[in-house]
Structure 1
């Protein structure tokens, strides 16, 4: 319950900013509003200077919807679950953990950059996505992938990134 309440409070805190951005979307590139579902709250989160910066392997605080993950060369990352797609040479990867959710349901994992993600809740197998949306010409968000999650901790593995940092958020699907 605490995780759901914290996400709810975070959503309320940025809701005004997201609505303001949506209302004045003239400053937002059209591609950023053309995803298959609204990512306005994620745009606000990814633009916030308070987004925590975490090293690979870290766990996001229960009251935070996401973080800036510092990546390492893919070859140096010990992925608990082998990536389902081999990363290209010279790319970056990392691991980010989210605490157990208090409410099961449909959630979306959103990334700021091109990268491959594998998501697990048992640390051994990957969860299949239910849907995804990608826009390569949005400078703030690259893709969002939806998953059906239970109430156990979440492991996100990032691989194949071209940069050494990436913003990641998890939020209930709207």
Structure 2
């Protein structure tokens, strides 16, 4: 009986290994087909979106989720809702608590997002879907420099991710220099 079970297991493993090359060609056929119907699996992530200094698949998943929460400038992003669409305003209408560390270009958009004090201090990453400038403050008076960053202009769904050392005070995230009036943002501890 053991030999039969072992033989069956080897046959199934071998069949799975032989079927693998056919699966590799599947994404190419799917890319040429029409968009998947509602409820169908999401399209494969473009290769350029995996070319960041650290993995951002968690953020990619949040940004692609149906019904992604919308928050307005000045709102608080709850930790249980780490990703959202932030509605921005024309720069002239934004009251930044701390002056942006880079002068925004004319005609750009900006906004302020608050994040509650982290339970544990540590490195968190702030990820954006599009080009914009990020400033972070925990004292409401000065900006905190990032400890690291990664940018990829070839990814259509993610643009940049910056890592910051957060203490246990509330966080203010300022977005400036955006080209559109909305941007997807995620704030979460480093995995």
TM-score normalized with structure 1 length? 0.83
Partner residue in 1 for 2:73: 56
**CA shift for structure 1 position 60:** 1.4
Matching residue within 109, 123, 141 for 1:92: 109
**CA shift for structure 1 position 170:** 0.9
Give the total of aligned pairs: 150
Residue pairs, 1:121-136, within 5 angstroms = 121-136=138-153
How has the CA–CA distance of structure 1 residues 157 and 42 changed in structure 2, closer, same or farther, with 3 Å as cutoff? same
Between the aligned partners of 1:81 and 1:66, the Cα distance in structure 2 is 23
Unaligned runs of 5+ in 1: 1-23
User: After TM superposition, which residue ranges in structure 1, 4 or more long, deviate above 2 angstroms?
Assistant: none
Partner residue in 1 for 2:124: 107
TM-score normalized with structure 2 length? 0.76
Partner residue in 1 for 2:91: 74
Partner residue in 2 for 1:158: 175
**CA shift for structure 1 position 116:** 0.2
**CA shift for structure 1 position 126:** 0.5
Between the aligned partners of 1:136 and 1:150, the Cα distance in structure 2 is 30
**What is the DSSP-based 3-state SS (H/G/I as helix, E as strand, rest coil) of the residue aligned with 1:166?**
strand
Unaligned runs of 5+ in 2: 1-23, 28-43
* RMSD over equivalenced CA pairs, Å: 1.2
Partner residue in 1 for 2:60: 43
- Structure showing greater radius of gyration is 2
